[in-house]
A and B are shown apart, each in its own frame.
Chain A
Amino acid sequence: MQFMLLFSRQGKLRLQKWYVPLSDKEKKKITRELVQTVLARKPKMCSFLEWRDLKVVYKRYASLYFCCAIENQDNELITLEIIHRYVELLDKYFGSVCELDIIFNFEKAYFILDEFLLGGEAQDTSKKNVLKAIEQADLLAEENRPRQFFFSLLS
């Protein structure tokens, strides 16, 4: 995978993960063009399109578009499954995830993505393992919270 974009029906970017080195300017240009192209697609069209020299796989979940750019030798159908797996992970983590969850907790969405994919490929094919890892990492982050809070409650 070269990159993944999440954007709303109005074209607002909610998440962008780039696995290829590009300048900020190029990223903005690509994002703008691709978002426009995908939003212009009619519902009866298939989930794949050829864009520049890449294959783009996209799927809409409620108000969010999940859009991945893959290389020519990659399997489009399994990419749809990758997207679906990511959505399932978000859903399990947030409990019936909706766009607002991803807006307000974008950093968590990134953490989950980075635990699922690395360099554009799936690290773990077990949903359970990925969620467990996130859970543990979250606990570790919790431990960092300042302890004063507890003391002030008790005293």
Chain B
Amino acid sequence: MPAPIRLRELIRTIRTARTQAEEREMIQKECAAIRSSFREEDNTYRCRNVAKLLYMHMLGYPAHFGQLECLKLIASQKFTDKRIGYLGAMLLLDERQDVHLLMTNCIKNDLNHSTQYVQGLALCTLGCMGSSEMCRDLAGEVEKLLKTSNSYLRKKAALCAVHVIRKVPELMEMFLPATKNLLSEKNHGVLHTSVVLLTEMCERSPDMLLHFRKVCLLVPQLVRILKNLIMSGYSPEHDVSGISDPFLQVRILRLLRILGRSDDDSSEAMNDILAQVATNTETSKNVGNAILYETVLTIMDIKSESGLRVLAINILGRFLLNNDKNIRYVALTSLLKTVQTDHNAVQRHRSTIVDCLKDLDVSIKRRAMELSFALVNGNNIRGMMKELLYFLDSCDPEFKADCASGVFLAAEKYAPSKRWHIDTIMRVLTTAGSYVRDDSVPNLIQLITNSVEMHAYTVQRLYKALLDDISQQPLVQVSSWCIGEYGDLLVSGQCEEEEPIQVTEDEVLDVLEGLLVSNLSTPVTRGYSLTAIMKLSTRFSSINRIKKVVSIYGSSIDVELQQRAVEYNALFKKYDHMRNDWYFPLPALLERMPIMEKTASNGPTEIMQTNGETEPSVPDTKHLPLVTQPANQANDLLDLLGGNDVVPVIQTTLPTKPASAGGELLDLLGDLSLSGGLAPAPSVPVSQPPFLLDGLSSQPLFNDTSAAIPPMTAYSKNGLKIEFTFERANPNPNIAVITIHATNTTEADMTEFVFQAAVPKTFQLQLLSPSSNIVPALNQGSVTQVIRVLNPQKQQLRMRVKLTYTHKGSPVQDLAEVNNFPPQSWQ
């Protein structure tokens, strides 16, 4: 049989293939030749054949039939055979297959070989892919080599020991004696790998850490070595751009970090050297900055004195001005980590951070944005908001949703004046209106309602915005709601803040009707405008026009609109007195909404208080607030929903009882336009007609694209039940918005209720403020909280939750895994 072709020859031949098919043919032919060669047990060419097989494996072709051949090569006496054999083992074998165990004996022999390069091959292979069984068998050999005086072998043994410890942590102890004088070596290779080994041991075992800290007094030794590196003159062997062995320096700094963490003495012992490295390291090249970066990480993590911390943050500040974008990226990431603990120090670099918003790199921009929001406070809100709004104008769409949410949150927390707040919101709505989260609409409406003195100004500005552009749905929705509420102010030209505009009732109605017919309006928006038009029937005098519009939509194809129109029609015909009644002194159906009070200062869920009654408001879910106390007025409300006159969905269910239930009806109707769904009906004893409730709740009013991700029970134990409902945040489909509803079936309240959640590393979690801290007993109400989960890899959603509360005087804590997320929530 002719000698098998050489490796280079094969590579050359395969590269001439012009198509995938041609390549495959060549490969198959060669594989067949190699297979027969293997069958003939040809020792001479085995090495060449396996090498060729490895090449073909890299191209993506199967090569498992070469595994045993690799073992034969390893067992051979020839160095060339061993070299290729071990390489093949590392590439083709893995610890899942039993075949790899056959290597163990060969490796053991080679670890004791007379030639150090063979020993090196064995150590390398073991340290790269040794399984736990192999490591257990061979740990003794590795430990022996760790004590040898041959630095070539010692350095490899150290890294091999790291791998052994990772695979079989219990074996860590046996390497302890060998580490005694590792750091007194002169050889940098041994020093570097020893530091890696010590780092691994300290990270894995707190006992080891203590031992190294107190008994071996590692810190002074490391400080000494580091000092020598910095002070010593030019050493050509280890020099990189004028810095002596930066790899070793970085590794030592990292070990110091672990030793100094939460230990005052150690931290103090390293203060000086850290300051020295921080001030003396050359920053013109990447190497120097790599060392500075590690130094900063160490300073921030140990118990360093404040001067040193300020120094560290200043280094990061300088990094931000560096031309190298990698350095800027690293700086922003680090600053984000420290902004909570060293807020004031980071504030000093605020302007540089804000400049990074204009960077070209996407990752840098994102970090700058996150950091900017973290730095906003009452003092800098005006300036910061200007920059952030400018950023919102010009940034990529992927940022707009998060930026808009951030702006809203910051504005809510720190707005210097109501007018500023409303102006800011207007700006966001007009520039990034289609990217704001859906729950911003109810939040904004509530904010506007509460700014009583700004009503005229707000409605005027919103009206003008509508004239310009009706494509951005959140803006349109808020505007129509406001016009519906405050249309009278608009028409009467009462604005104080700016020049009042002259608008007639007909013009306003033109605009609203325009929304109803426009192709740009979503069904939700149409719902808003129809309701707004209806409300204007009590504020405007052109009632006939409104009546006409309402009756036209009574036969609309859109069932939601149809229902509304029919109900409003009924108000005109049968219940005109309820719209605006002069007989009854109580407030009527379509009058001005009262001020809604907020309990939490931020967060999208609030509790609305009207007429002294509290109702949980949950805008994210498709529910109506439900009055929970058994007052007679409340019962009238529920009767309205369907006590006696139970009728099918599309007809109105207004009872014969007059406006004594007016106050609550008012909220009912107002909230229909806000969240347009039904509340979860807890155990309030009232006859609930199946039709109406089912009918309304089956129609998704918000966010049609999210179509029914089924809710799920995440937790149910000891009377506490937590349900998750889902929504997709438009336009980013990678963000799932989950609202938790916590209810309590026991007879005692659960107070100081805190819900915490953790997700796997590939996800990001944002927990917004809860509606309250008390889960009332007997399902009389619920605590709601919004969770936003970013899932860019579309991996299966998993969550760990921690619940703490006080029940009947004693604290309760529980941890649970939530794994039963419906697939639609993360796909």
Residues of A within 8 A of B (CB): 13-16, 18-19, 21-24, 28, 44-50, 52-53, 73, 75-78, 80-82, 103-104, 106-107, 110-111, 114-115, 118-119, 121-129, 133, 136-137, 140-141, 143-144
Contacts and interface: CB of A to CB of B under 8 A. Distances in A.
A123 B194 CA distance: 10
Contacts of B124: 114, 118
B294 A75 contact: yes
Contact of B361 (A45, A80, A106, A144): A45
A125 B238 contact: yes
B360 interface: yes
B51 A107 contact: yes
B128 A19 contact: yes
Interface in B86-109: 87, 90-91, 94-96
Interface stretch (B159-167, B535-543, B618-626, B706-714): B159-167
Contacts of A46: 325-326, 328-329, 361, 363-364
A111 B237 contact: no
Given A53-B761, A140-B115, A118 B237 contact: no
Interface string B239-266: 0100001111010001000000000000
A75 B123 contact: no
A13 B328 CA distance: 31
A125 B96 contact: no
Given A107-B54, A141-B80, A125 B245 contact: yes
Q: By CB atoms of chain B within 10 A, which of A47, A106, A123 has the most? A: A123
Contacts of B287: 81
A119 B79 contact: no
B87 A48 contact: no
B127 interface: yes
Interface in B287-342: 287, 289-290, 293-294, 297, 325-330
B329 to A, nearest CB: 5
Contacts of A111: 83, 87
A23 B94 contact: yes
B192 A45 contact: no
B290 A119 contact: no
A47 to B, nearest CB: 5
A52 B762 contact: yes
Nearest to B15: A103
Contacts of B156: 118, 123
Contacts of A53: 760-762
Nearest to A145: B80
Given A121-B193, A124-B192, 12 more contacts: A16-B91, A45-B361, A75-B250, A77-B326, A81-B246, A107-B7, A107-B84, A114-B90, A114-B128, A118-B123, A125-B245, A126-B188
Interface in B121-168: 123-124, 127-129, 131, 152, 155-156, 159-160, 162-163
A77 B83 CA distance: 32
B168 to A, nearest CB: 14
B58 interface: yes
Nearest to A28: B60
Contacts of B94: 21-24
Given A45-B363, A140-B117, A118 B329 contact: no
A34 B58 CA distance: 16
A129 B154 CA distance: 14
Contacts of A49: 363
